[in-house]
Structure 1
Amino acid sequence: MQLTMPSFDRAHILVIGDVMLDRYWHGGTTRISPEAPVPVVKVGQVEDRPGGAANVALNIAALGAGASLIGVVGEDEAGMVLQSRLKAAGIRTDFQISALRPTITKLRVVSRHQQLLRMDFEEQFQADDCDQFLQKARVLMPYMDAMVLSDYAKGSLQIAPELIALAKQFSVPVLVDPKGHDFSRYRGATLLTPNFVEFESIVGRCRTEQDIVERGAALVRDLDLQGILVTRGEQGMTLLRAGQPELHLPARAREVFDVTGAGDTVISVLAAAIASGQSIPEAMALANLAAGIVVAKQGTATVNSPELRRAVQSEQGSERGVVTEEQLLIAIEDARASGERIVFTNGCFDIIHAGHVGYLEEARMQGDRLIVAVNGDASIRRLKGEGRPINPVDRRMAVLAALESVDWVLFFDDDTPERLLETIKPDVLVKGGDYREDQVVGGEIVKSNGGHVKVLGFVESCSTTAIVNKIREQ
């Protein structure tokens, strides 16, 4: 499957469900309490993160899509903190305030990256706590490209059937992260995303893959769904659709650090991708990549667009190597979003020799990512005369791309790289040879954009021209 990054910024998703505040107390542990055999944690940092349906909205916003959130919070400090965090992330909130029940809060005590204790502050919401949800959703639905129901079994989604019916009136796809032992209230949704335990609680014990496929297909048919995506932890994901063969994707996590919020990330990416026009299988593949990223993070985490794009590029083998100018600009955007410094150098590189290798290694040390712009064949003929280049541009770029120090290689047919420098705006322009800094072509362009110029020396008595002349003499 050829993965592509959707235009998330064109999509807007409505999230409705159980919102909560995930609160973390971090501190060191050096002794055991004299009062009881428990560790004493000296709290040094307090961290608040939106959780539950709020984390789904946060994930959607991190991808660059628009997110609106409907939920219920208490008339308390936790509710105000939650609204403040979401507003700062650009999420439109329309909360119903309960005067009788508190904002759901989960407090975790963490020491040395290990969770020692979790305390839950919550009461089950009742029908009157969320009786304005349908009215709020009806106002927003005409402007939505997808709707997510994030059910944590806290009582906020008692009117799930009415919300699904409303979305269908506007032809808005509905994705549900379900809970409980009765999925019938999600009838007519587009896609359900249960984990394997939740799936088995509905269909019974599945001892074989065939059991999963057959029972999943029956559930899709009985509930009038387009599909069920079963998340299976280290066994990946399985998509089951009526009249379609099952689709299984293996787990992509290299290291699992914390699975908190992984389900939120999966349904967020699914919804944003589908809202952006991708098919369910394409959206599933993106969600699978995103899940592999988020479980390597601690706590309730999100995946942003640059992280996901980088994973897609890696999947397609385009994270580094020979690129077009358009591909390079996307890669640079992602690198800068991660705080990386961009180094640029250029040259003919007709015959790659030890001087080039050492020079490029030193150039790479000036930053985090190295771009090598190579003169095209026509450009070299104008600069060096007939008989050059010895190697055509595609072969020169292939050799350069194989060097560990080089991240991206592209060619240009202008006599100078000035146009590229105007477009790329590198942090460092590197040039080798007996130049003064003020003699480097394009140096003033780089400086005017906030970068600087670095002149490096080549390995002595090692040059392409010398090698060519020696061969010709012999």
Structure 2
Amino acid sequence: MKLSMPRFDQAQVLVVGDVMLDRYWHGGTSRISPEAPVPVVKVDQIEDRPGGAANVALNIAALGAGASLTGLVGNDEAAVALSETLSAAQVHSDFQVVESHPTITKLRVISRHQQLIRMDFEDSYSSEDAVALSGKAQQLLQAGIGALILSDYAKGALDDPQPLIQAARAAGIPVLVDPKGTDFSRYNGATLLTPNLHEFETIVGPCANEEELVSKGEQLMLEHNLQALLVTRGEQGMTLLRPNETELHLPARAREVFDVTGAGDTVISVLAASLAAGEPLPQSVALANLAASIVVAKLGTAAISAPELRRAVQAERGSERGVLSLEQLQVALQDARAHGEKVVFTNGCFDILHPGHAGYLEQARALGDRLVVAVNGDESISRLKGPGRPINPVDSRMSLLSKLESVDWVISFDTDTPEELLEALRPDILAKGGDYDKKSVVGWEIVEGYGGEVNVLSLFDNFSTTAIVEKVLDKNQ
């Protein structure tokens, strides 16, 4: 299945459910307590992250989609911490405050990247609180919402989700549910449920093989009027079931599992944002599977960013390197910078690629993490070099350059000089090979004007495209 990056900036998702604060105390440990056989942790860092439904909303915002969130919180410091963190991440939160209950908080003590203990601070909310939340959520089901997520952690916020499901379906909004508990009839009429294998087997009974899983899943969809069912199966990947459709099995992609905390949140977040952006369900599921493989390699509840996901998609398609258009290259550079990579830019005709070019490009690549090579178009070379040039058309020249290990991306330009490209791409370093000072390099003032560097590299002796062409012509005369 061919993956692509959806237009997340055109997606709007509403998240309703159990909101939590994940709090982490980090510190070193070097001794055992004299009071009990437990390690003593000297806490030197406190970290707060949105958890539960709040982490789902955070994941959606990190993808670049619009995220709205509502849930039940207390009138306390934890709720304030949640609101501030979510607001900074561009999540629009509108909580239902319950004066008699604290905000659900999970405190984890971490030492040397290992979780030593988790302490939960929570009281389940009442059915009256859930009814009030449902009313608020229905008011938020306004025009422009492309998907609704019900993030259920069995803490009481989604005590009776039926009114909300029915309101969303009446408005034509797909409803995705991360379910909990032993009664899935509560989610009747939902578009898609995403139970893990344990949650699924709790409802339908043990599944000895794939055929039994599919059969029981189809029966579950029929009983509860579901349009689709996605069973997440850990190291066995995911299985997507739809009535009257062939099941879709997707293998797990994670090379190393460090922490599965929040992986389910990532799956449903990417799914909903993709559907809201107009992607078909199978492609959305495949993208969510890829995202899950990234997030389980992180410690704790973590959101996956759009640049991370885009880079993984590009790697899947084999397009993380090669010949790109200007728009594609701008996105690639955005991702590179998001990963802290330094971008080097160089340009030339490269009409006949020779060892001098290869050595010069290796020098340029060594200046940073990524190398962009801009190639003069055919008409540009004709104007610069005269009749009979180029020897090789631009497509052939770019294709050959893209095969070099030192080159990440190749782009062409039709003007005689690359100033317009430099303005659009704003590389960290402009590199050029030649026997002249940097102020003779075309575009130096543009690059230094925005704080970039200009670097003049040495050329390898005895190699020249023009000399090669003249030698060939002499031999043919």
What TM bracket, shorter-length normalisation?
over 0.9
Shift of 1:112: 0.9
CA distance in 2, matches of 1:55, 1:224: 28
Tell me the amino acid that sits aligned with residue 25 of structure 2. Answer: W
Any residues of structure 2 matched to 1:47-446 within 5 Å, and which? Answer: 47-143=47-143, 144-446=145-447
1:16 paired to 2:3: no
CA distance in 1, matches of 2:147, 2:412: 42
Deviations along 1:204-260, one digit per CA (max 9) or x if unpaired, are 111111111111111111111110011111111110000100011111222211111
CA distance in 2, matches of 1:183, 1:78: 31
Shift of 1:118: 0.9
2:34 match = 34
CA distance in 1, matches of 2:393, 2:11: 44
CA distance in 2, matches of 1:325, 1:77: 47
CA distance in 2, matches of 1:68, 1:377: 50
Give 5+ residue unaligned stretches, structure 1: none
CA distance in 1, matches of 2:385, 2:96: 73
Tell me the amino acid that sits aligned with residue 126 of structure 1. Answer: S
Deviations along 1:337-358, one digit per CA (max 9) or x if unpaired, are 2232221101111222222222
Deviations along 1:252-299, one digit per CA (max 9) or x if unpaired, are 222211111010011011111111111111111111111111111111
Deviations along 1:397-451, one digit per CA (max 9) or x if unpaired, are 2221122211101122222112212221222111101121111112222222332
Secondary structure, counterpart of 1:238 in structure 2: strand
Deviations along 1:91-146, one digit per CA (max 9) or x if unpaired, are 22221222222211111111111111111111222112333112212221123221
Shift of 1:90: 1.9
Verify the 8 A CA contact 1:257 1:295 in the aligned structure 2. yes
Tell me the amino acid that sits aligned with residue 276 of structure 1. Answer: A
CA distance in 2, matches of 1:410, 1:92: 39
Tell me the amino acid that sits aligned with residue 63 of structure 2. Answer: L
Tell me the amino acid that sits aligned with residue 75 of structure 1. Answer: N
Secondary structure, counterpart of 1:390 in structure 2: coil
Shift of 1:471: 4.0
Tell me the amino acid that sits aligned with residue 120 of structure 1. Answer: D
Verify the 8 A CA contact 2:104 2:120 in the aligned structure 1. yes
Tell me the amino acid that sits aligned with residue 220 of structure 2. Answer: L
Higher mean alpha-carbon deviation, 443-452 vs 427-436, is at 443-452
CA distance in 1, matches of 2:349, 2:375: 6
Shift of 1:379: 2.2
Secondary structure, counterpart of 1:48 in structure 2: strand
CA distance in 1, matches of 2:111, 2:270: 31
Shift of 1:154: 1.0
Secondary structure, counterpart of 2:142 in structure 1: helix
CA distance in 2, matches of 1:90, 1:411: 37
Tell me the amino acid that sits aligned with residue 84 of structure 1. Answer: E
1:45 match = 45
CA distance in 1, matches of 2:363, 2:219: 61
1:456 paired to 2:460: no
Secondary structure, counterpart of 2:341 in structure 1: coil
Give 5+ residue unaligned stretches, structure 2: none
Identity value in percent? 66
Secondary structure, counterpart of 1:450 in structure 2: coil
CA distance in 2, matches of 1:151, 1:166: 18
Shift of 1:168: 1.3
CA distance in 1, matches of 2:71, 2:422: 49
CA distance in 1, matches of 2:14, 2:399: 47
Tell me the amino acid that sits aligned with residue 103 of structure 1. Answer: T
CA distance in 1, matches of 2:446, 2:334: 19
Tell me the amino acid that sits aligned with residue 301 of structure 1. Answer: A
CA distance in 1, matches of 2:414, 2:142: 50
Tell me the amino acid that sits aligned with residue 2 of structure 1. Answer: K
CA distance in 1, matches of 2:379, 2:438: 27
Verify the 8 A CA contact 2:430 2:454 in the aligned structure 1. yes
CA distance in 2, matches of 1:181, 1:118: 25
Verify the 8 A CA contact 2:15 2:67 in the aligned structure 1. yes
Shift of 1:60: 0.8
CA distance in 2, matches of 1:16, 1:183: 17
CA distance in 2, matches of 1:463, 1:233: 57
CA distance in 2, matches of 1:254, 1:435: 49
CA distance in 2, matches of 1:75, 1:443: 57
CA distance in 1, matches of 2:413, 2:68: 45
Paired residue total: 474
Tell me the amino acid that sits aligned with residue 68 of structure 1. Answer: S
Secondary structure, counterpart of 1:131 in structure 2: helix
Tell me the amino acid that sits aligned with residue 454 of structure 1. Answer: N
Shift of 1:472: 4.2
Tell me the amino acid that sits aligned with residue 134 of structure 1. Answer: S
CA RMSD of aligned residues (A): 1.5
CA distance in 2, matches of 1:217, 1:395: 52
Tell me the amino acid that sits aligned with residue 182 of structure 2. Answer: H
Higher mean alpha-carbon deviation, 381-390 vs 23-32, is at 381-390
Deviations along 1:363-403, one digit per CA (max 9) or x if unpaired, are 11222211001122332232223333333322222221122
Tell me the amino acid that sits aligned with residue 389 of structure 1. Answer: P
Verify the 8 A CA contact 2:258 2:299 in the aligned structure 1. yes
Shift of 1:473: 4.4
Secondary structure, counterpart of 1:132 in structure 2: helix
Shift of 1:61: 1.0
CA distance in 1, matches of 2:429, 2:310: 24
Tell me the amino acid that sits aligned with residue 280 of structure 2. Answer: S
Verify the 8 A CA contact 1:96 1:130 in the aligned structure 2. no
